[in-house]
């Protein structure tokens, strides 16, 4: 039995059951982490503080202080909105090509001995 289950945001159909495909366990949490980080502030109705607002830094010159502030924002949002995981570390790399690489290391609260990671390109 799966501990965590979410709708797959690709909205594909399961050929056997004709139901929507789902993400399970670590895949569900990884999808949720990515969604929280990429959602802009004010984008989610009735929850204006939701989201990491990752896209607001694109094409800007980014200082190390900006990256640290963004890490703090990401960690705070993930702590509030993703209770199924505990964040270990967040690395943000400015590629210099107009996008960021974000690597979030976490473990599932149901299996704290297994370190996991989700990589996000903005």
Sign of CA dihedral 65, 66, 69, 74: negative
Q: Which residues contact 50 (CB under 8 A, 6 or more apart)?
A: 36, 39, 41, 43, 44, 77, 81
At 60 the pLDDT is: 73
Distance of CA 98 to the CA centre of its chain: 20
At 39 the pLDDT is: 93
Please state the φ and ψ torsions of residue 71, each to the nearest 5 degrees. -60, -45
Structure tokens at 94: 């400015």
pLDDT band at 1 (very low <50, low <70, confident <90, very high): low
Structure tokens at 40: 């802009």
Domain boundaries, the chain: 5-121
β partners of residue 7: 22
User: Is it true that domain 5-121 has CATH number 3.10.450.40?
Assistant: yes
- Give the pTM: 0.88
Per-residue exposure over 52-71, b if at least 16 CB sit within 10 Å of its own CB, e if not: bbbbebeeeeeeeeebeebb
* pLDDT of 107 over the 60 cut: yes
- Mean pLDDT score, 20-48: 91
């Amino acid at each position: 039995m799966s501990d965590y289950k979410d709708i797959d945001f690709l909205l594909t159909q399961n050929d056997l059951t004709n139901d929507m495909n789902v993400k399970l366990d670590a895949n569900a949490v990884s999808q949720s982490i990515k969604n929280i980080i990429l959602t802009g502030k004010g984008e989610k109705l009735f929850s204006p503080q939701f989201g990491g607002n990752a896209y607001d830094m694109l094409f800007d010159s980014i200082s190390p202080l900006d990256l640290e502030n963004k890490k703090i924002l990401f960690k705070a949002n993930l702590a509030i909105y993703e209770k199924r995981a505990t964040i270990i570390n967040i690395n943000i790399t400015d590629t210099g090509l107009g996008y960021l690489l974000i690597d979030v290391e976490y473990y599932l609260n149901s299996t704290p001995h297994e370190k996991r990671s989700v990589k996000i390109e903005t």
